[in-house]
Structure 1
Amino acid sequence: MDAERGEGSPHGGDGRLRRRAFLVGGGLAALGLGGTALAIGPDGFRNAYARVVCGGVPDPPVARPGARRLSEVEGRTVIVSLPPRPRDRTTVVIMFPEGTENARASLDLCSADRYLAASGGRFAVAAIDDWPSADVVGTVLPHLETQGFDTGRIGLLGWAAGGAEALRLAAQLGSGRVAAVAAASPAVTAARAPLRDLVDIPVWLGCGERDDRAPQTETMLKGLRALGATTEGGISSGCQDTAYRVRVLPEQFAFFSRHL
């Protein structure tokens, strides 16, 4: 019957949407967000609800970031965000974002250069275009070495699929090459995570409590601790989104500062 009713019918799709908007709007109003949500329509309700449940993206620090250095290796753009006061041979954290975002977008998405400056870290953060198809060990690290960076022992940082790659690469290279690894909501099950190969590497592992990867992340943390690994992180408020990743970035950069 609903399919035969017109678009303007209070019983049709628009009517149901308005009823949902009214109900959600009432809940948001109780939380002090009603006026904003009512002004921006159905998408605004969803976004406002997400902010209530997951938390918003914090404003970036006011710290003045260091310079960026752009280069290419095998036709692939590599962007390195330097700390405000780089050393002669600055150590590097390779960053693997979720998916195949380009290097500039992955750095800008989380204001990594500003958080790096605010952390006081003396390392650089390197992002690579289309990292899943990049030969990080065979081409990117030697390229960064020729650019004057210290790649003797590196840091690895990843989100979601990038977090799984950071853990995999750390396990492959071992503690002789990897000083520390950090992964936010890594897309890997506890059964397939290379836990025993990470025992000698300090690991930061975290996830938002409303992320469906939280249970497996917690299991991995317990497994690493049982093996005697140095671990930081944990399950905290948030979802599988940019807001969570940005909120934990200061903690991750402080972690790298202690181990690089």
Structure 2
Amino acid sequence: MGTVSRRGVLLGAMGAATSGALALASCGAPGPTRRSGTLTSRHWPGRDVHWQLAVPSGGHDDQHPLVVVLHGKGGDASHAFRIVHLDDHVQATGLAVASVDGGDYYWHARRSGVDTGAMVVDDLLPMLRRLTGYTGKIAFLGWSMGGYGSLLLASQLGPDQVGAVVAESAALWTDAGLSASGAFDDREDFVAHDVFERTDVLSRIPVRLDCGRSDPFVPGNRAFAKALPSAQLTFDEGGHTGTYWRDHGKAQLEWVARTLRQ
């Protein structure tokens, strides 16, 4: 086993008032370079928003397609790596994987004045492009609240900017009255951000839907699959759990890598 080494560098302010540290660890085979830091955004006033990034070591950062990961309700930027362990698959797939805090705001504009979706688009994405130099199409990957958010943000950015979407165990409802408490401010908010009404755009983006058969969101995911027949659909054993999301991460990132490089 090789000697483990770590080093950090301070990242300067980059438009979105970012700061971060770079760490690299190796033990035998090379592993991804890890960066983390905070940004500030007018879309989330008074909050230091944490982000994390894992980039394959070797080659140039701008050669690695970028995947933005959106966590579920109750999660934060750390869940993509600490719970779902997506960093385990960064080196093999050649993808740069980034995650960010989103609170419990369901990745869209809320009456409170917080809009974590706009924060991703206006602040996180430009920062990540400056950090990596990557200029191509991105991918979204999310579970639960983040699965819904991935579909929503992809529909807003469209096929010119988004090349793949993985919506896993997505929090999807066919009617505002069925939605979880706190997911939307009211019926009007639900209607304004209803991804079932955005399938014309999403049909022009490769979409993968994964959902465990024991997941409470199965009805919404089945309905969405009918509304978006172009999506690649998997219903298999499992529930709404970190184990399910972790077990599917490798195959999902391999699918993203193939799709973005086609």
Aligned twin of 2:235 = 235
Query: Quick check: 2:70–2:102 contact (8 Å CA) kept in 1?
Result: no
Distance change (3 Å), C-alpha of 1:237 and 1:73 = same
Change beyond 3 A, Cα 1:186–1:221: same
1:164 aligns with 2:148: yes
Structure 1 residues 113 and 199: CA distance shift in structure 2, 3 A? same
In 2, Cα distance between equivalents of 1:63 and 1:249: 21
1:128 paired with 2:100, answer yes
**What's the CA shift string for 1:48-93, capped at 9, x where partnerless?**
xxxxxxxxxxxxxx98631201233213222101124453403211
Q: For 1:80, what is the secondary structure of its paired residue?
A: strand
Q: Which amino acid aligns with 2:158?
A: G
Indicate how the Cα distance of structure 1 residues 92 and 128 shifts in structure 2: closer, same or farther if over 3 A, else same: same
* 2: CA distance, partners of 1:165 / 1:86: 31
Match in the other structure for 1:103? 77
Deviation at 1:215, TM superposition (A): 2.4
Q: How does 1:186-197 map to 2 (within 5 A)?
A: 186-190=170-174, 192=194, 193=196, 194-197=198-201
2:210 is matched with: 206
- Counterpart check, 1:70 vs 2:36: yes
Where do 5+ consecutive residues of structure 2 fail to align? 1-27, 41-47, 108-114, 176-193
> Where does 1:215-230 land on structure 2 (aligned, <5 Å)?
215-225=219-229, 229=230
Identity %: 27
TM normalised by structure 2 equals: 0.68
> What is the match of residue 133 of structure 2?
149
When the two chains are superposed, the root-mean-square deviation of aligned CA atoms in Å is 2.1
SS in 1 for 2:171: coil
User: In structure 2, which of residues 71, 76, 86 is the aligned counterpart of residue 112 of structure 1?
Assistant: 86
- Number of residue equivalences: 193
Distance 1:63 1:201, change over 3 A: farther
- Aligned 8 A contact 1:63 1:114 in 2: no
The residue that corresponds to 1:33 in the other structure is none
Could you tell me how far apart the structure 1 residues matched to 2:96 and 2:160 are? 19
2:124 to 113, 116, 140: 140
Q: CA distance change for structure 1 residues 64 and 142 in 2, over 3 Å: closer, same or farther?
A: same
Question: Contact conserved, 2:159 with 2:201, CA < 8 A, in 1?
Answer: no
Question: SS state of the match for residue 82, structure 2?
Answer: helix
- Displacement over 4 Å in runs of 4+: none
